[in-house]
């Protein structure tokens, strides 16, 4: 592709180092330093009263333990807070109070709930579909009814699905479909980074905006600390493109910064939608190399199920809009002849439903033959680890493909802490030796699959806005399983022997980070 076919708005710049300041860990470090200073001051200035300070702190810690054991928090998270309160009572308690009080995101939570309720009736479930015997007997109908407790997620037929085994494949299809846009283009992505991929897309967006197409772009506000400038929305608006970051960084410490928009959605004219793990930066299409070969996946939908992704985008876009728009964009879609069923769904961290995790566990508990999984991270709570082990123990072929080259060493070390227990239970784990696996894929028994943005870690399952596409008996499921088997050929199996010979560095780091896993 020629350089004159891409647009670049920013000079090359180093990635920011401030995102730590706005994270839980960053805040915890600040509070820990404060506590150390307080303790030293008390000891030096009030040595005679230090024992009373210690007694008071101990009683306070015991009170916090009673609180933890009686709250509704996840069991693994309770253990983490328990360790922290025992070690460093003051900063841990302040941090716990800070997160439990939802400081800084109450307004977003209320607005999100309002929009979900307001839009709940925009899409309706065809009862003829959900009552069909094959959906009832497979548990898919029950899963759909569960999902609709927390949102508006019909299951559709008449939707054609194409599977892309690499980011390069998705990128090529995206360019072709974007050029066909006539009414609107909605884009919501976790990461946008300037380069060949985004520059090529931006050129098309700019051209479409001049033609009167309604072009809207959303990205996560953390991009301001890594890949984009704080004035990037204004730069795009000058080109006729509506743009807004989700939760932009401001000089205010808030738990809202912990909830990131990890979704990847592209909707064109309500007729075509893209979903999967691929962000809009050059490493995702292997144009630049960061962690070896980048293995990712995505799907393209054409037909009725696209309407759900349109609604998901509008729910996020309308959070900051005074007058939400729905009906002009959620319109009937022409049918695409296709076998099987498609159910797009999303998850948000501001309610008590762990939708992403529950869908994965539903697949594991109902599997009869196999469940094959690709995920970049493996930071499990007790429920998910139990589901994986139980499936393997009852004879299901459970295989996981994980990165051979990590993007984050702490997360990589944490994943390895689960290896011994899982392998002992019969779960087969493989590492992708050519590079980094960023795909988020479940495929089961040749009839079920999920492709989306949801990782097997606390970030995705508890703290991020996520989305995915659930497939039942669609033609492309065979392509997903074929890609899994092809990827497996480039993997090395994890065995008790490889676990024993693991580098001491990862064993020590994993053991340390295990305590902080729910905060990762």
What is the Cα–Cα distance from 41 to 353, expressed in whole angstroms?
Answer: 44
Active site residue: 445, 457, 479, 483, which one? Answer: 445
445 is an active site residue = yes
Residues 6+ apart with CB under 8 A from 448: 138, 140, 363, 442, 470, 471, 472, 477
The DSSP secondary structure of 217-252, one letter per residue, reads EEEEGGGGGTTS-TTHHHHHHTTT-EEEEES---S-
Bridge partners of 50? Answer: none
Contact between residue 464 and residue 262 where contact means Cβ atoms under 8 Å apart: yes
Helix (H, G, I), strand (E, B) or coil at 325: coil
Task: Give how far Cα 414 sits from Cα of 26, 61, 513, Å.
Answer: 19, 28, 6
Active site residue: 269, 296, 479, 483, which one? Answer: 269
Supply 342's token pair: 């498609």
Sign of CA dihedral 318, 324, 326, 328: negative
Contact between residue 35 and residue 91 where contact means Cβ atoms under 8 Å apart: yes
Contact between residue 435 and residue 407 where contact means Cβ atoms under 8 Å apart: no
335 is an active site residue = no
269 is an active site residue = yes
Supply 305's token pair: 């199920």
- Residue 407 φ then ψ, to 5°: -95, -25
Helix (H, G, I), strand (E, B) or coil at 150: coil
Active site residue: 105, 244, 389, 440, which one? Answer: 440
Q: What angle do CA 292, 502, 395 make, to 5 degrees?
A: 90
Active site residue: 105, 262, 302, 448, which one? Answer: 262
Contact between residue 43 and residue 53 where contact means Cβ atoms under 8 Å apart: no
What is the Cα–Cα distance from 57 to 162, expressed in whole angstroms?
Answer: 59
Active site residue: 208, 256, 264, 399, which one? Answer: 264
Would you call 52 exposed, middle or buried from its count of C-beta atoms within 10 A (0-12, 13-18, 19+)?
Answer: exposed
262 is an active site residue = yes
Enzyme catalytic residues: 262, 264, 269, 438, 440, 445
């Amino acid at each position: 592709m020629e350089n004159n076919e891409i647009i670049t708005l920013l000079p090359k710049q180093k990635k920011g180092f401030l995102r730590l300041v706005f994270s839980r860990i960053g805040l915890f470090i600040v509070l820990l330093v404060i506590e150390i200073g307080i303790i030293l001051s008390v000891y030096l200035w009030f040595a005679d009263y230090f024992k009373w300070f210690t007694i008071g702190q101990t009683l306070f810690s015991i009170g916090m333990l009673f609180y933890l054991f009686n709250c509704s928090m996840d069991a693994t998270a309770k253990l983490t807070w328990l360790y922290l309160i025992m070690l460093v009572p003051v900063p841990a308690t302040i941090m716990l109070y800070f997160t439990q009080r939802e400081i800084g995101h109450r307004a977003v939570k209320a607005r999100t709930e309002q929009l979900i309720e307001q839009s709940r009736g925009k899409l309706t479930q065809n009862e003829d579909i959900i009552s069909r015997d094959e959906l009832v007997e497979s548990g898919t109908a029950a899963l759909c009814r569960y999902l609709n407790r927390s949102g508006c997620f019909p299951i559709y037929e008449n939707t054609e699905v194409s599977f892309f085994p690499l980011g390069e494949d998705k990128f090529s299809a995206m360019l072709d479909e974007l050029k066909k846009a006539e009414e609107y283009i909605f884009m919501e992505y976790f990461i946008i980074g300037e380069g060949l991929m985004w520059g090529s897309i931006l050129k098309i967006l700019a051209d479409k905006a001049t033609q009167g197409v309604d072009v809207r772009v959303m990205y996560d506000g953390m991009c301001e600390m890594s890949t984009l400038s704080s004035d990037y929305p204004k730069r795009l608006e000058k080109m006729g493109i509506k743009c807004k970051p989700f939760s932009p960084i401001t000089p205010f410490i808030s738990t809202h910064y912990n909830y990131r928009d990890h979704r990847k959605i592209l909707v064109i004219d309500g007729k075509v939608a893209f979903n999967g793990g691929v962000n809009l930066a050059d490493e995702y299409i292997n144009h630049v190399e960061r962690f070896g070969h980048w293995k990712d996946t995505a799907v393209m939908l054409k037909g009725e199920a696209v309407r759900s992704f349109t609604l998901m985008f509008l729910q996020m876009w309308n959070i900051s809009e005074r007058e939400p728009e729905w009906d002009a964009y959620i319109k009937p879609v022409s049918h695409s002849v296709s076998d099987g069923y498609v159910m797009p769904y999303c998850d948000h961290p501001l309610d008590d439903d762990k939708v992403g995790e529950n869908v994965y566990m539903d697949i594991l508990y109902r599997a009869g033959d196999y469940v094959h999984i690709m995920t970049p991270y493996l930071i499990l709570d007790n429920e998910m680890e139990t589901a994986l082990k139980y499936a393997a123990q009852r004879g299901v072929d459970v295989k996981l493909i994980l990165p051979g080259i990590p993007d984050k060493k702490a997360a990589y070390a944490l994943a390895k802490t689960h290896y011994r227990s899982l392998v002992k239970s019969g779960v087969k784990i493989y590492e992708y030796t050519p590079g980094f696996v960023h795909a988020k894929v479940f495929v089961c028994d040749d009839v079920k699959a999920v492709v989306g943005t949801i990782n097997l870690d606390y970030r995705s399952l508890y703290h991020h806005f996520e989305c995915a596409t659930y497939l039942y008996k669609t033609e492309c499921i065979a392509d997903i399983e074929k890609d899994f088997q092809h990827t497996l050929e480039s993997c090395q199996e994890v065995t008790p022997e490889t676990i024993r010979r693991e580098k001491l560095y990862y064993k020590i780091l994993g053991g340390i980070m295990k305590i902080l896993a729910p905060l990762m």
